[in-house]
Amino acid sequence: MNDSLIAQQQIDKVALLTLNRSSRRNALSKDLLTDLDRMLRVIADDSGVSAVVITGAGERAFCAGADINEQREFTPEDAYAHMRFGQAIFDRLEALPQPTVAAINGFALGGGLELALACDIRVASTQALMGLPEITLANLPGWGGTQRLPRLVGVSVAKQILLTGAPVTAADARQMGLVSALFEPAGLLDGAVRMAQQIAIHPGEALRTIKAVVAVGLSEGRREGLMAEARGVANLWGTPAQKAAQHAFFSRNK
């Protein structure tokens, strides 16, 4: 662990990052976002980390959103700059070479849900609540929520969440594909870490390639995605890890 606003722990090849502002329901202050950005830069180059889990300290909140107290005196220019600041960090999280799992242990609202949306996989406590309530403040999400949510749950469901501002229960989030698994509160973190460990046992180069190829298809379309897929297979073919896995496969068959 460390003394920053994000606590970091290593479990085998999994990095566990815990938003550490429980007194503020882990709200995303500029300092906390800066800490996250710094940690992501380090983790991206760390060959000892094959997967990342992000969660929030305490039992009440994964993250209640942006720290509104910091924004009270914003001008429109300040607001624009702060949105671009957060977008860049969440883009870095989305582009992290290692797969990421958000363990949503309570409220994940506004910027908190946007943080989870930037992760590859989301799992949640059965007691979690998720939502983008910015419309209730006569505004809209500014850290990627309007872009990532429709791609994840479909345009109609995303617009319902965005336009009503109503929270989504864990069960409904599972049904719509917003999260991929639910755990009882006491077992959430163990479940998320186990999932990350199931990922981390595989060769890092293959994991990074899968993430990169999926990103190409989503951003550039199916044709470019298929080409990237073929290139990815070719680039991995004959690597030591691929040869070892192939040899083990044929040995088992014999």
Q: Residue 48: what residue type?
A: G
Question: Which residue in the list 73, 77, 114, 184 is annotated as catalytic?
Answer: 114
DSSP per position, 228-243: HHHHHHHHHTT-HHHH
Token code pair at residue 237: 């073919």
Question: Which residue in the list 94, 134, 224, 229 is annotated as catalytic?
Answer: 134
Distances (CA, A) of 86 to 14, 33, 49, 144: 24, 7, 24, 9
Q: Within 95-124, where are the H helices?
A: 111-117
Question: Is 184 tagged catalytic?
Answer: no
How many helices (DSSP H) and strands (DSSP E) are in the chain?
Answer: 10, 10
Closest to 39 measured CA to CA, from 57, 54, 25, 29:
54
Question: Is 73 tagged catalytic?
Answer: no
Distances (CA, A) of 122 to 108, 114, 205, 240: 11, 11, 22, 32
Catalytic residues: 114, 134
